[in-house]
Amino acid sequence: MCFLFSWCTFIKSPKSSQGHHVSMSSIDGVKVCVCVFQSLDYDNSENQLFLEEERRMSFLGFKCLEISRWVICGLIGFLTGLIACCIDIAVENLAGVKYYVVKQNIEKFTEVGGLSISLILWAVLNSAFVMVGAVIVAFFEPGAAGSGIPQIKCYLNGVKIPRVVRLKTLVVKVCGVICSVAGGLAVGKEGPMIHSGAVVAAGVSQGRSTSLKKDFKIFEYFRRDTEKRDFVSAGAAAGVSAAFGAPVGTHCTTCPSAQHVPQHNMSLSTTCPSAQHVPQHNMSHSAQHVPLCTTCPTLHNMSHSAQHVPLCGLLGALFNILNYWLTIFRIRYVHRPCLQVMEAMLVAAVTATVSFAMIYFSNDCQPLGPDQSEDYPLQLFCADGEYNSMATAFFNTPERSVRSLFHNPPGSYNPLTLSLFTLTYFFLACWTYGLTVSAGVFIPSLLIGAAWGRLFGILLAAITPNGSVWAVPGKYALMGAAAQLGGIVRMTLSLTVIMVEATGNVTYGLPIMLVLLTAKIVGDYFVEGLYDIHIKLQSVPFLHLEAPATSHWLTAREVMGAPVTCFNRIEKVGTIVDVLSNTSTNHNGFPVIVPLIISEQSMTPPFFIHPCFLSSLSLIPSSSPQLGKICGLILRSQLIVLLKHKVFVELARSRLTQRKLQLKDFRDAYPRFPPIQSIHVSQDERECMMDLTEFMNPTPYTVPQETSLPRVFKLFRALGLRHLVVVDSENRVVGLVTRKDLARYHLGKHGLEEMQLAQT
């Protein structure tokens, strides 16, 4: 039921534009908005213009394109690294100032009493930061909310999430993440960095900014979905590399979500991480110095990690389930921007209060050693030369807390501190994810996992004989972090490589992989991954890797949309305008058919029909357009450009000098094609005819009606299609399969289930 709701935070206001279409509907008495997402077209429309251009291009031209691709990738890598660096520096400085002020205040009031003033100061500072972050997200660019990884995943899958790769989103995202991390929320900055990389890539590769109305007249060849997708994928990879300092792991991350990315993109993505001259070593620095036994063989590690197995994934699944309920609650009741800002501020204040209470009531004092790496050691009620251990975990940015959990020597934390910390931080992080702020979930997951992993290690050392020798808490913290993160986001291969690269120790590769695999299997038994949950809650028609296993009894005839609006090869302008203006259908692709009443002049090759057919063909009434044989497919965006340039048969005859429409005209309009309402067509022009032959894709992929769903799915997913025409044995159009028709089937607990997606 809840799949009907979509995440309103994406939508600023329920307006209807070409970019996205929003309709308001009332379900369960609750007013929710249903966004209907469009698809991207990862299959080139190989029309005559395109083929002519490709054929004109020399071998050298293709080489030049290849070089441009490398240049763009270099630029993407450099800019993404720069942005990540700025985020890092800003967060460190702001958080530093904040913690310094609060620490001074606490120290001042510890002696004289009145620590409640410190608490208020801390809570107000946090709320102020978070308020700024939440306001810009909620009021200026709701698309910048969350980690951005689900959005990029959808984009690479072929769903056009509105405004996800725009400049404004980038600016809001960067400012927002700085505010939310500095505001002390239980969030990380890795997701936003990956999103930033993707936006940078989408911008740089197009050689212009539509927002700034600046066209550099370069990289024009790359102005289409297929090429842009490749660069966005590379940009996301650059973002991963910048966030984790893991240039190799990047490949593994971006590939699974975009199966139809051609492989030359693999080599492209390689450049981005390599070209980053500003490597960010957040995690690698934090974990590189883990004082673990680096010489113990892999088998030893494996046996250790096996002890984690029962816990792997369970906590992650719990996190996801809680967050799922919370998100549904938010969709229903917290969908106005001011409410969202207030909730974010509330969470910030509560985080500060809870942290303060935990630190206040903790009596875990640790000696302040000479090799002390604490950044803000709080003495509080501890003896001189000691510090409060709970404060190490809470009075710190999450990243630094992870680092201290990984590499502080055994004995730095007592079990009670760790269990209290795990418990509170778990609920705080769960509450925080999904707020209308720009924030990621990687670091909080790692922190929760590291805490319970370390706790597990300490307990193991205590209860097993000789345990204190081999049960090094830091190692268990690492494994716990992997398990928790794997249980929440459910990546295996990519996370293994990223964590191995980040820890800088290959010995942990196999145990980490085992832990992640177990976490995935256990977690998948209960609930989906966090990103998938949020993708579903946004009712995004996301196509998974394969069709559901038990869907062989469905055929194209059952899943396709019918009847289909078709156009004739030479169509009346009025008809086209009317169809495009019809907001109730709002189709984006239209099969082009050869009318069955065949006049002599349209009988041109390549659509030769055997003469003896003609006698019978003319018997069929032309009133049912579905009966025409398919000869092409044309997109709404192409028709809009044609209408804008008034490419009418009559005008071409009268104005012979008129410039012929080129592919460049389509590229200039990409990606923000004007809505049909903005194009004025006079009453006279409505009577003109439009010849679509040159502009339609003459060879769309088609399937017969009897094709099974897995077969249709495979074709759709492997080629990145947007429209698949279903034809009968006579090649007549009988239906059209789109992404939504396929995405509505999914495998439930008891077999195939059909979702009731909001229809276009």
Rounded CA separation 238/170 (Å): 15
Nearest C-alpha neighbor of 174 from the set 238, 83, 280, 95: 83
Least distance CB 117 / a copy of itself (angstroms): 44
The single residue among 74, 467, 509, 675 that binds a copy of itself, judged by CB under 8 A, is 509
The single residue among 299, 338, 603, 649 that binds a copy of itself, judged by CB under 8 A, is 299
With beta carbons less than 8 A apart as the criterion, state whether 246 and 235 touch: no
Query: Where does this chain touch a copy of itself (CB under 8 A) — which range of 2-10, 72-80, 196-204, 707-715?
Result: 707-715
Footprint of a copy of itself on residues 19-78 (CB under 8 A)?
44, 46, 51, 54-55, 57-59, 62
Query: Where does this chain touch a copy of itself (CB under 8 A) — which range of 320-328, 582-590, 658-666, 695-703?
Result: 695-703
Contact between 751 and a copy of itself by CB under 8 A: the answer reads: yes
Least distance CB 506 / a copy of itself (angstroms): 5
Q: Is 523 exposed, middle or buried (0-12, 13-18, 19+ CB in 10 A)?
A: buried
The single residue among 519, 566, 573, 631 that binds a copy of itself, judged by CB under 8 A, is 631
With beta carbons less than 8 A apart as the criterion, state whether 565 and 602 touch: no
Least distance CB 221 / a copy of itself (angstroms): 12
Q: How far, in whole angstroms, is CA 474 from its chain's centroid?
A: 32
Binding mask 6-25 for a copy of itself (x = CB under 8 A): --------------------
The single residue among 113, 545, 600, 684 that binds a copy of itself, judged by CB under 8 A, is 545
Rounded CA separation 543/551 (Å): 14
Footprint of a copy of itself on residues 83-102 (CB under 8 A)?
none
Footprint of a copy of itself on residues 327-386 (CB under 8 A)?
none
φ and ψ at residue 438, rounded to 5 degrees: -85, 110
Q: How far, in whole angstroms, is CA 706 from its chain's centroid?
A: 34
Residue by residue, DSSP assigns 686-727 as: HTSEEE-TTTSBSS--EEETT-BHHHHHHHHHHHT-SEEEEE
Least distance CB 149 / a copy of itself (angstroms): 18
The single residue among 41, 141, 190, 501 that binds a copy of itself, judged by CB under 8 A, is 501
Least distance CB 453 / a copy of itself (angstroms): 20
Amino acid identity for residue 108 in this structure: K
Q: Which is nearer to a copy of itself, 493 or 669 (CB)?
A: 493
> Collapsing DSSP states into helix, strand and coil, what is residue 232?
helix
The single residue among 608, 653, 659, 684 that binds a copy of itself, judged by CB under 8 A, is 608
Least distance CB 46 / a copy of itself (angstroms): 6
> Collapsing DSSP states into helix, strand and coil, what is residue 657?
coil
Q: Which residues are within 8 A (CB) of 139 and not within 5 positions of it... i.e. 6 or more apart?
A: 337
Q: Which is nearer to a copy of itself, 176 or 316 (CB)?
A: 316
The single residue among 117, 248, 338, 649 that binds a copy of itself, judged by CB under 8 A, is 248
With beta carbons less than 8 A apart as the criterion, state whether 483 and 519 touch: yes
Least distance CB 178 / a copy of itself (angstroms): 26
Q: How many CB atoms are located within 10 Å of the residue 120 CB? A: 15
The helix or strand, by DSSP H or E, that contains position 113, with its residue range, turns out to be none
Least distance CB 249 / a copy of itself (angstroms): 9
Footprint of a copy of itself on residues 471-500 (CB under 8 A)?
492-493, 496-497, 500
Rounded CA separation 277/722 (Å): 38
Least distance CB 227 / a copy of itself (angstroms): 13
Contact between 271 and a copy of itself by CB under 8 A: the answer reads: yes
Residue by residue, DSSP assigns 611-656 as: HHHHHHHTTS-TT-GGGSEEEEEEEHHHHHHHHHTT--HHHHHH-T
Contact between 306 and a copy of itself by CB under 8 A: the answer reads: no
The single residue among 8, 135, 252, 418 that binds a copy of itself, judged by CB under 8 A, is 252
The single residue among 514, 566, 633, 635 that binds a copy of itself, judged by CB under 8 A, is 514
Q: Which is nearer to a copy of itself, 28 or 706 (CB)?
A: 706
Question: What strands lie across the sheet with 702-704, from one edge to the other?
Answer: 702-704, 723-727, 733-738
ω before 511 within 30° of 0 (cis)? no
The single residue among 552, 655, 664, 672 that binds a copy of itself, judged by CB under 8 A, is 552
